[in-house]
Amino acid sequence: MALRKIVLQGDECLQKKCRVVTDFNQRLHILLDDMAETLAESGGVGLAAPQVGVLRRVCVVMNEDEEIIELVNPEIIAAEGEQTGLEGCLSVPGKYGVVTRPYTVRVRAQDRNGSFFEVEDEGLTARCFCHEIEHLDGHLFVEHTDHLLSDEELQEYIRQQEEEEEEE
Residues classed as catalytic = 132
Taking CB under 5 A as the rule, does residue 58 contact Ni ion?
no
Stretch that binds Ni ion, among 22-30, 82-90, 118-126, 156-164 (CB under 5 A): 82-90
Stretch that binds Ni ion, among 24-32, 74-82, 83-91, 99-107 (CB under 5 A): 83-91
Give the nearest distance from C-beta 48 to Ni ion in angstroms. Answer: 6
Give the nearest distance from C-beta 127 to Ni ion in angstroms. Answer: 11
Give the nearest distance from C-beta 23 to Ni ion in angstroms. Answer: 25
Taking CB under 5 A as the rule, does residue 52 contact Ni ion?
no
Task: Please give, one letter per residue, the 3-state secondary structure of the chain.
Answer: CCCCCCCCCCCHHHHCCCECCCCCCHHHHHHHHHHHHHHHHHCCCEEEHHHHCCCECEEEEECCCCCEEEEEEEEEEEEECCEEEEEEECCEEEEEEEEEECCEEEEEEECCCCCEEEEEEEHHHHHHHHHHHHHCCCCCHHHHCCCCCCHHHHHHHHHHHHHHHHHC
Taking CB under 5 A as the rule, does residue 105 contact Ni ion?
no
Taking CB under 5 A as the rule, does residue 89 contact Ni ion?
yes
Alpha-carbon distance of 30 to 16, in angstroms, equals 22
Nearer to Ni ion, 24 or 134 (CB): 134
Stretch that binds Ni ion, among 1-9, 84-92, 108-116, 142-150 (CB under 5 A): 84-92
Taking CB under 5 A as the rule, does residue 6 contact Ni ion?
no
Taking CB under 5 A as the rule, does residue 133 contact Ni ion?
no
Contact 95, 148 (CB under 8 A): yes
The binding site for Ni ion (CB under 5 A) comprises 89
